[in-house]
Amino acid sequence: MLNTVVLQDGVEDRWHWNLHPTHNSTVSSAYQLLSTTNTNPHTVPFDLIWHKVVPLKVCLFAWCLLQNRISTTNNLTWRGVFHNLDQLCSGGCSLVEDVDNLFLNCGSFGSIWPMVSHWVGINTVYPAHIIDHLLQFRHLGGPTKNYQITMHLICLSCT
């Protein structure tokens, strides 16, 4: 949307919202733009999963995890294996067992991440979605590629 912006000396800056006839921004026009855009904010980067030093079975598990193909009770209910009453997390957290809850939010299984953070010496707030978590954890290693690879491997191993 900013491809046509031209900066000029002596001209006052102003905002112009092209998505609404009045050129004023509205919630409905922003919602229309976001709901009709074909881009997925959770597109999985190829190198987030496949890495030459990671064992193939770990890469395959990470791929299944990020594609939401893990056999959580939520997925098994969706496939007709369980009934709707059986979707609660097996970790006992009383929430629906989906990928994000099971690996990040569950008190039994998700509690590994604060321990790992303490072990590697970082403090952070974890995102609610697994792909955001993997992306964030990778960059917690700092600016150098070796540290990022190390953090990425630790994250995949713990997952």
Average pLDDT, the chain: 77
122-147 burial, b at 16+ Cβ within 10 Å, e below that, comes to eeeeeeebbbebbbebbebbeeeeee
pLDDT band, very low/low/confident/very high, at 39 (cuts 50, 70, 90): very low
Domain spans of the chain?
46-158
In contact, 104 and 112? CB cutoff 8 Å: no
pLDDT band, very low/low/confident/very high, at 86 (cuts 50, 70, 90): low
State if pTM tops 0.75: no
Distance (Å, whole) CA 88 – CA 79: 16
Amino acid identity, residue 72?
T
In contact, 145 and 155? CB cutoff 8 Å: no
